[in-house]
Every structure is written in structure tokens, then in C-alpha cells.
Amino acid sequence: MIKVKTRGREPIDIMIKRFRKMCEKEGLVRDVKRKSYYEKPSERRRRRKRKSLKRISMV
């Protein structure tokens, strides 16, 4: 769970910006977008395989 504490008299705009940055860092936005539609099991396997190949090629 993500918690954002105020820093003194920090404006709400900056707190929201920090919250969004934390959500992005945790990968919550990506997960919500991915789960917003149905993905067939074969497509899921294909996506995971591509992701693992990207990791291998980067190293």
C-alpha cells in the first residue's frame, strides 16, 4: 500500500505528483491497464516470453 505524508506546508498538487510517481514506480498503472481487458492464455505466454528475451538480450 502506498502512503504519502505531507512535508510541512506542502501543496496538495505536489503531494499528488509524488503519489503518481510512486504508483508508476510500483508498476500499479501498468497492471491496471493490463488487467482492464481479457488476455488469452496464449497471448500471455507470448508476452512473457518476449519480456524474458528482452531481459536476456540486455545482459
3-47 tens-digit pLDDT? 888 889 999 999 999 999 999 999 888 888 888 989 899 999 999
Q: Is residue 6 part of a domain?
A: no
**Structural domain tally of the chain?**
1
Cβ neighbours for 29, distance < 8 A, ≥ 6 positions apart: 23
Q: What pLDDT is recorded for position 13?
A: 95
Q: Is residue 1 part of a domain?
A: no
Q: Is residue 2 part of a domain?
A: no
Q: Is residue 4 part of a domain?
A: no
Measured in degrees and rounded to the nearest 5, phi and psi for residue 39 equal -120, 125
Q: Is residue 5 part of a domain?
A: no
Q: What pLDDT is recorded for position 57?
A: 79
**Which residue range forms the structural domain that includes residue 53?**
12-58
